[in-house]
Amino acid sequence: WLDTRHAPDTLPMVADGRPVGALVLEHPGKAPGVERRVMGVVAQAAGMAALNLRNSVLLRRVQDLAERDALTGVANRRSFQESLERVVAASADLRDTVAAVLFIDIDDFKIINDTLGHAAGDDLLVSITERIGGLVREGDIVARLGGDEFAVLTEDLPDLRRARSMAE
């Protein structure tokens, strides 16, 4: 409900000195003593809401860092392992699909880092990740297992035609 006859009070939502939102309070009538106390309580609630919002964003970021490779943004070894365990457990009941794991190791990658530097090596790893990502479909999992090792987890028909095609 918006009463256009009364100007709203806007309370900033600030967490750690940074604005994260605003709370707009519409209220009819004026009662200065009550209004000040209510606004104080609402301001405290806005502060707590801002901290909760910031904490949820930080928690999501920490979870993302725990599940993703920092350089490439794809799943990391731990996340890949968990996904593989889930797919294997679920596939025991399904007979029409099989899980396929494609393992990719970049031969002589150390030479790139030694001759061109780590920045060039990192750029190459990001490019490889993008190339692999272009070959998979939604639902497939691409992971950087470490260094120059990648894996793809995909579900396929029992003849593995699609997985073989991706590997080629």
Token duo for residue 131: 């190339």
Q: How far is Cα 75 from Cα 143, in angstroms, rounded to an integer?
A: 4
Q: Is 148 a catalytic residue?
A: yes
CA distances from 14 to 24, 41, 48, 59 (A): 14, 15, 9, 18
Burial 63-83 (b: 16+ CB within 10 A, else e): eeeebbbeebebbbeebbeeb
Catalytic pick among 16, 148, 156, 159 = 148
Mind telling me the catalytic residues? 148
